Structure 1
């Protein structure tokens, strides 16, 4: 008799069965946009409606997603609402830059993210993780959501700045959290596409935080520039040095380097942290999935000390992380807007008219849980991503790092960081849920667990 437990179904908002009123929609979007989506979003290939801010297209069909993000990407720019939220923080960073600025920046930064450079950061990732887990030796209960933001911050500080940060290192992580909390929220006026001169009350208090944080980044850049002038060969070969070397004609301006450092901090630090937290939570609730992963990690660590090889040698560990990314995509929406209206025709003959100024939403949160694309979509089933299965997944139904020309440039960095962190954490410790572990996914800049992830940490027997 098969005694395998039923798959674990982690918490998520239930699809709405009726559309909200205009006021209710604005309230939901501000509080938690994940609670907005109704049954059709999880069943139909696309939805086209006229909403509060104008025409709205929700794209779920992989063929349509490919059309918008790849095949006809030249006809789609970043959506107005998204830019209103992110540009005040990131300015001309890669996530928000457009046109020639984006093309030049992407080309200039491509050498920074070569496999050679990414592999070069693996020892620092391992070293920072080993140092971080010393706090767990005494056991007890800790908020893993907070801990993972601290771990990924320490890795980022080492790989981005080599720990050389102007001001107080002790408060830098808190400064990041304050920045993302005050500036990364949807304002009702953005949803209504109100003119920029109308003040966004939700972000007024964030301006001071933004100015302070940019000052720290600018001062840190100045310190490194001075070091490069004094001793070019002795400067750390981290992201900051690589970016500063990309400055100049045809490359990055100094302001763009600052913008991209802030983009890396927001996109690289926060997204990986959330994904790690959700992975540990799901594995704690599904110990039958965790046990073979522990055996895999133990075997690899005993045989292979080189952390650059762990990603390829740990398919079960990677599958669990990929499945957590499916259920809780750190960036839960990809927003585009057509430059010219067009009619999309699917291979099956269906047609969709995309009108001028339509907000075209590719929602990884919805696509990753779509009932026509996934079996048992709300359940945590890492086997979907085991070798032999992952190859059957359409490239455009799984979008944790986006797709097309604007696919996340740091995806390889994030995957290497995640597997190194999970390998170290799970090789030594068990993470178990407690009575207070009742997370609720909330969309801010990332998919965050409201209420945190308090978990009991114990040393693994014999480890």
Structure 2
């Protein structure tokens, strides 16, 4: 009789047992908001309290989450603090736009993310991954967190921009890290709701990096417009072309076009990159799960050459990725603010309250999950995933603002994992000591140095 080993419990901040002082809270929120939450946050259906910046509600109950994100979504706008962080970076991109601007952008982009178009991206995703993994052929140690940023950038550039993004991928990855290290943090003045005219240190430090990304966008648009003028028939019908065609009096402004380009270049690949890195790390620390995934991948690749079929054909691989998304949601916090006060059951939600729906907390909630801190892909195996409430698992959000690229990301992730794990084995080393830190996304502080070894598949 086989004995199932104890599941791997990956690193995470231990819930606080005492509330922080005001100064300590500001320091924690700036350094790593994941370290702020107390034990009661992971046990109660909701928390309602007065905080430094006003009233705070932490929504954990799936019914309450559904109410805020879906049933009464029109009463909730993007939270002020969140907008103060993201708008200087993304301006009127899809993640930060509201009202009519958001509707125009969503409508303009929707055709790119239909199932037919996403299936059409499968071969470029496969090709880019196959080219990328040749760097591992001689084995050795590599920072997988950094590598996954490069891989997903390659895939994004090839699929949505037909390989025509200005700038060099290596410097791009470094600048992304610098952007999240500066402007990706909560500024203490924003937390205190200080007047906008007071200068924010985080934004001052990020100006040079922000200028770098804006130049990439300007140069990318110029390249594509030049191609339009030279030979309109040779212009690829991709995401970039679609956005430019949507520009006009009834569509997007030039500024909105550029804001959406920077949203997808800067953030569109980052979330998938983080999720892939955490998946490889968790599998390396759970060799019994890795063996099951490798066997499944080897079996499917031997009989199914069409990568559009892999997502459905690899339930164990998908389950491992889903479980990594649960433990390390790339977007760990969804922030809303009620336009008008209301009641939900016996919870009063005052106007202008900060309503936090935090996948980081919801995904680890004691009342919603068995052994919530353990890496257990079986939660998402066929027959089990159907029992999970739609609003207790939110890696891509929910409601009208659900991530438009969720299906794109899932297909991309499974293709990338299939190619990487079919050819190479990823193992942790003595230096692999990641610590989850929230800087817009859930990042591994210290990176993910891993030993990569070519596999001998029989």
- State whether residues 75 and 338 of structure 2, in contact with CA within 8 Å, keep that contact through their aligned partners in structure 1: yes
Is there any run of 5+ residues in structure 1 with no aligned partner, and where? 346-350
- Tell me which residue corresponds to 1:392: 387
In the alignment, which residue of structure 1 is the partner of 2:134?
134
1:407 paired to 2:402: yes
Aligned residues: 458
CA deviation after TM superposition for structure 1 residue 89, in Å: 0.3
Contact 2:153–2:169 (CA<8 Å) still a contact in 1? no
- Between the aligned partners of 1:120 and 1:82, the Cα distance in structure 2 is 34
Match of 1:203 in 2: 203
1:308 is displaced (CA, Å) by 1.2
> Displacement, 1:115?
1.2
- In the alignment, which residue of structure 2 is the partner of 1:228? 228
Q: Is the 8 A contact 1:333 1:365 kept in 2?
A: yes
Does the 8 Å contact 1:179/1:213 carry over to 2?
no
Report the Cα distance in structure 2 between the residues aligned to 1:449 and 1:68, rounded to whole angstroms: 30
Structure 2 matches for 1:11-410, cutoff 5 A?
11-345=11-345, 351-410=346-405
- The answer to whether residue 448 in structure 2 is matched with residue 453 in structure 1 is yes
Match of 1:425 in 2: 420
Alpha-carbon distance in 2 for matches of 1:71, 1:257: 30
CA distance in 2, matches of 1:20, 1:266: 33
Partner of 2:411: 416
TM-score by length of structure 1 reads 0.97
> How big is the shift at 1:265?
2.1
Quote the residue 2:429 is aligned against: 434
Q: Contact 2:109–2:239 (CA<8 Å) still a contact in 1?
A: no
Contact 1:15 1:38 in 2 (8 A): yes
CA contact (8 A) 2:89 2:183 kept: yes
Distance 1:37 1:152 in 2: 31
User: 1 CA distance for matches of 2:160 and 2:179?
Assistant: 18
- Separation in 1 of the partners of 2:311 and 2:27? 42
Once the 2 structures are TM-superposed, how far is the Cα of residue 169 of structure 1 from its aligned partner? 4.9
**CA-to-partner distance for each residue in 1:233-273, whole Å, 9 max, x for gaps?**
21123321222222224322221111111111232211100
TM-align CA RMSD = 1.2
* SS state at 1:335 partner: strand
Tell me the alpha carbon deviations over residues 325-384 of structure 1, each in whole angstroms, 9 at most, x when there is no partner. 000000000000000011111xxxxx1000121000000000000000000000000010
Q: Taking structure 2 as the reference length, what is the TM-score of the superposition?
A: 0.98
Query: What's the offset of the Cα at 1:292?
Result: 1.3
Q: Secondary structure at the match of 2:269?
A: helix
C-alpha contact 1:335 1:362 (8 A) present in aligned 2: yes
